[in-house]
Amino acid sequence: MAARAVSLNRKEEAGKLVLEAAGRWISSFAGQTEKLVTDAETRRAKSQAVAIDASHIEQLDTSGAWLLERMRRGFESGGAKAEIVGLDPRYKILLDEVQQTNTGKNAEEEHDHNAVENSLSYLGEMVTGFVRDTGEFVQFLGGVVVTFGRVLVRPWTFRLTSVVYHLDRVGFRSIPIIVLILFLIGGILAQQGIFHFRKFGAETFVVDMVGILVLREVGVLITSIMLAGRSGSAYTAELGSMKMREEVDALRVMGRDPMEILILPRMIALIIALPLLTFIGSMAALFGGMVTAWLYGGFTPEIFTERLRDAISWSTFWVGMIKAPFMGAVIGLVACVEGLRVQGSAESLGEHTTASVVKSIFLVIVLDGAFAIFFASIDW
Amino acid sequence: MANVETATDTPKMPLKQADTQPIIRVRDVWVSFGEHKVLKGLDLDVKRGEILGFVGASGGGKSVLMRTIIGLVKKDKGMIEVFGRDLDKLNEEELQAVERRWGVLFQQGALFSSLTVRQNIQFPLREYLNLSQRLMDEIAIAKLEMVGLPAFVAEKYPSQLSGGMIKRAALARALVLDPEIVFLDEPTSGLDPISAGEFDDLIRALQQTLGLTVFMATHDLDSLHNACDRIAALADGKVIATGPIGDMLKSDHPWLKAYFHGKRAAGRLNGKRN
């Protein structure tokens, strides 16, 4: 049934090739129709005159009209004289319209690179991208500092409401998830410590390990990574969609500095929130360690706190806390730069949100390494 | 193949023998958002082969009716018949077959931003039909040129186009399967008067070429004058009047008077009459 929906019969009539097109030349059958047309074109006739008889076509749409026209052009380019005859007048306008299309050379640039060339150019793009990123981050940081300075001089331009709003979003609302995750991590650290230290009877040192590790490294790192994923991505997406809808430009033309209104409150909120969350998170991790040590290792909470007091000092605590605001600044910086880089499309928004999270986590870890070197050299 | 068959089992009615059987029949449709009732028992007929301009106050439910017909908004009650088939009584496959026979131009174009214009136009072809890449490319270019865009636009992304180009490219996508009905949601909004005028002409020309029925929600008085065969006016959740532009101008209904004889309309009409 479907096979007979379209047909194209050829006849030779007095030195003239007649192709009888019949049936429903519509897009639903365009696949079959195209095969018929291609067949007809390949089996070229000797005859110089070709008539495409369209009088039996019951139904025609753009795809069908185009295939008729393509066939006609095929014969014409082969040197024959071809014409479409007998088409139902109601389809005349459509055919005329279609005959005016696909005339120019399609302006399609096909770059045919090989794999080596591709990977080299990719590498090159990455390197220039890295250099550009660094430049832009530094420039942006400068901008934030200048804006901050200006706000200090003119304190009434400071957007307290905005800072509080963002503080609530990135700080207060992150508490449950940060507490939960760090509680679990503290517990896991203690469990692993007890399990392995038990082999050589050094179980009690698990408290030292958990205390130092959590306060110096794990607390601030996990909190930063969580905030990069949770709040950094939100910043990028918000700023990105504002950029897409020209809201950032609207602020600028109203004489307001987007840096002051959008960026600074977000940065300040992150810089304040991260130390607070780090503190809360570290306490949760120590508590998790204590609970595990009690249930799994048999240390009572009294013994745990006693050992903890011996094991850690103020410097252990401060090493973690000092790092936190810097981590907040890095996350905010990357998130805002990426947000403002978003171009018109939704795809670009997704791309930059991903980049924001990946880059800020990477930079948080690099920064943590730098701090580790620094604190080791001042012997803290 | 069965699906394809059902999709086309009613042959397209040629424009010239347009029958009086309405292609879209809306009866007693109620739509509400929460407590707010937007459409209150709306009736409307769209005849085959006509361009119907649908006017109404901003926020009065023009887009809502369009979106209800194409199934994006749920109605509380009422009946909508398209191609003589009650949309509520169709199963999923039949509904898909009906959906293939209409095209929609959204207000912002709604081109997929991650695809080039060519891929956007080819999207329905790729989803519904099994065609060679060459034929799909040629059809895409043909459609693009029919809506008045040069072929090189095909390789651009939507974010690289101007507002008018986006509308045209989106129209090309709406038309790629040669639908019988196109729904246009404020097609000329955001275009300059010259582009808007060209767009009206384009819709007229395409309607004649492809034998389309056009349902156009619009505010543009020029479009109503130049492109539309018939106008339906929506006020207070109901169609208060239908008829050609002449009837609208003569009507005594206060809302219609305000709409067609308001300050903005008056200057234009006087200009026209002289």
Query: Is residue A292 included in any domain, yes or no?
Result: yes
Task: Tell me the backbone φ, ψ of residue A14, rounded to 5 degrees.
Answer: 45, 60
> Over pLDDT 70: what percentage of chain B?
89
Mean pLDDT across B97-118 = 85
State whether A96 and A196 are in the same domain.
no
Residue B230 pLDDT grade (very low, low, confident, very high; cuts 50, 70, 90)? confident
Size of interface A-B (CB pairs under 8 A): 106
Average pLDDT score, chain B: 80
Which of A103, A122, A147 terminates a domain? The answer is A103
CATH number of the domain residue A67 falls in: 3.30.750.24
Q: Which residue has the higher pLDDT, A232 or B109?
A: A232
- Closest approach of B105 to chain A, Cα-based (Å): 19
State whether A205 and A60 are in the same domain.
no
The per-residue pLDDT for range A264-273, each reduced to its tens digit, is 999 999 999 9
What residue ranges in A26-99 does DSSP mark as E strands?
Answer: 49-60, 81-85
Angle between helices A346-377 and A219-227 (to 10 degrees): 160
The per-residue pLDDT for range A293-330, each reduced to its tens digit, is 999 988 999 999 999 999 999 999 999 999 999 999 99
Q: Which residue has the higher pLDDT, A290 or B254?
A: A290
Query: Is residue A109 included in any domain, yes or no?
Result: no
Query: Is residue A347 included in any domain, yes or no?
Result: yes
- Closest approach of B52 to chain A, Cα-based (Å): 22
Sequence-separated (6 or more) residues with CB below 8 Å from residue A265: A159, A162, A163, A165, A166
Average pLDDT score, chain A: 87
State whether A98 and A224 are in the same domain.
no
Mean pLDDT across A142-146 = 92
> Over pLDDT 70: what percentage of chain A?
95
The per-residue pLDDT for range B142-178, each reduced to its tens digit, is 888 888 888 888 888 888 888 888 888 888 888 888 8
A106, B154: Cβ pair inside 8 Å? yes
For the cut 50, the answer to whether the pLDDT of residue B7 exceeds it is: no
Which chain A residues touch B11 with a CB distance below 8 Å?
24, 58-59
Which of A57, A77, A103 terminates a domain? The answer is A103
Determine the residue among A29, A36, A62, A70 to mutate to test chain B binding: the one whose Cβ has the most chain B Cβ atoms within 10 Å.
A62
State whether A183 and A81 are in the same domain.
no
Residue B16 pLDDT grade (very low, low, confident, very high; cuts 50, 70, 90)? very low
Give the up-direction half-sphere exposure of residue A310: CA atoms within 13 A in the CB hemisphere: 10
Residue A295: per-residue pLDDT:
94
d(CA A340, CA A344): 11
d(CA A84, CA A258): 63
Query: Is residue A129 included in any domain, yes or no?
Result: no
Q: Residues of A at the B interface (Cβ-Cβ below 8 Å)?
A: 1-2, 24, 26-31, 34, 58-59, 61-63, 66-67, 70, 90, 93-94, 97-98, 100-102, 104, 106-109, 343-348
Residue A275 pLDDT grade (very low, low, confident, very high; cuts 50, 70, 90)? very high
Residue B19: per-residue pLDDT:
54
d(CA B254, CA A168): 52
Burial grade of B174 (CB within 10 A; 0-12, 13-18, 19 or more):
buried
State whether A171 and A38 are in the same domain.
no
Residue B20: per-residue pLDDT:
64
Q: Are B86 and B78 in contact (CB under 8 A)?
A: no
Query: Is residue A304 included in any domain, yes or no?
Result: yes
- Closest approach of A115 to chain B, Cα-based (Å): 23
Retrieve residue B97's tokens: 């077959």
Q: Which residue has the higher pLDDT, A208 or B238?
A: A208
For the cut 80, the answer to whether the pLDDT of residue B267 exceeds it is: no
Residue A142: per-residue pLDDT:
93
The per-residue pLDDT for range B122-149, each reduced to its tens digit, is 888 888 888 888 888 888 888 888 888 8
d(CA A328, CA B239): 58
Question: What total number of domains does chain A contain?
Answer: 2
State whether A285 and A176 are in the same domain.
yes
Residue B12: per-residue pLDDT:
44
The per-residue pLDDT for range A168-212, each reduced to its tens digit, is 999 999 999 999 999 999 999 999 999 999 998 888 899 999 999
B145, A58: Cβ pair inside 8 Å? no
d(CA B269, CA B248): 13
Query: Is residue A148 included in any domain, yes or no?
Result: no
Q: Are A344 and A237 in contact (CB under 8 A)?
A: no
Residue A286: per-residue pLDDT:
95
- Closest approach of A356 to chain B, Cα-based (Å): 20
Q: How far apart are the first and last CA of chain A?
A: 86
d(CA B125, CA B119): 10
State whether A197 and A336 are in the same domain.
yes
B159, A348: Cβ pair inside 8 Å? yes
The per-residue pLDDT for range A207-256, each reduced to its tens digit, is 999 999 999 999 999 999 999 999 999 999 999 999 888 888 888 888 78
State whether A91 and A163 are in the same domain.
no
State whether A186 and A316 are in the same domain.
yes
d(CA A41, CA A75): 7
d(CA A150, CA A261): 13
Query: Is residue A132 included in any domain, yes or no?
Result: no
Mean pLDDT across B235-262 = 82
Residue A111: per-residue pLDDT:
57
Task: Output b/e per residue, B54-91; b: 16+ Cβ within 10 A.
Answer: bbbeeebbbbbbbbbbbeebebeebebbbbeeebeeee
Residue A62: per-residue pLDDT:
83
- ipTM for the predicted complex comes to 0.71
Q: Which residue has the higher pLDDT, B88 or A166?
A: A166
Q: Residue B42 CA to chain centroid, in angstroms?
A: 18
Nearest to B129 among A2, A28, A66 (CB): A28
Nearest to B159 among A29, A102, A345 (CB): A345
State whether A205 and A287 are in the same domain.
yes
Residue A29 pLDDT grade (very low, low, confident, very high; cuts 50, 70, 90)? confident
d(CA A38, CA A106): 21
State whether A257 and A321 are in the same domain.
yes
B113, A344: Cβ pair inside 8 Å? yes
State whether A73 and A218 are in the same domain.
no
Q: Are B174 and B125 in contact (CB under 8 A)?
A: no
- In single-letter form, the type of residue at position A2 comes to A
State the residue range of the domain holding A184. Answer: 159-377
Q: Are A222 and A185 in contact (CB under 8 A)?
A: yes
Q: Are B122 and B135 in contact (CB under 8 A)?
A: no
Residue A12: per-residue pLDDT:
77
Which of A64, A83, A103 terminates a domain? The answer is A103
Residue B8 pLDDT grade (very low, low, confident, very high; cuts 50, 70, 90)? very low
Is the pTM here over 0.90, yes or no?
A: no
For the cut 90, the answer to whether the pLDDT of residue A338 exceeds it is: yes
Query: Is residue A1 included in any domain, yes or no?
Result: no
Residue A374: per-residue pLDDT:
94
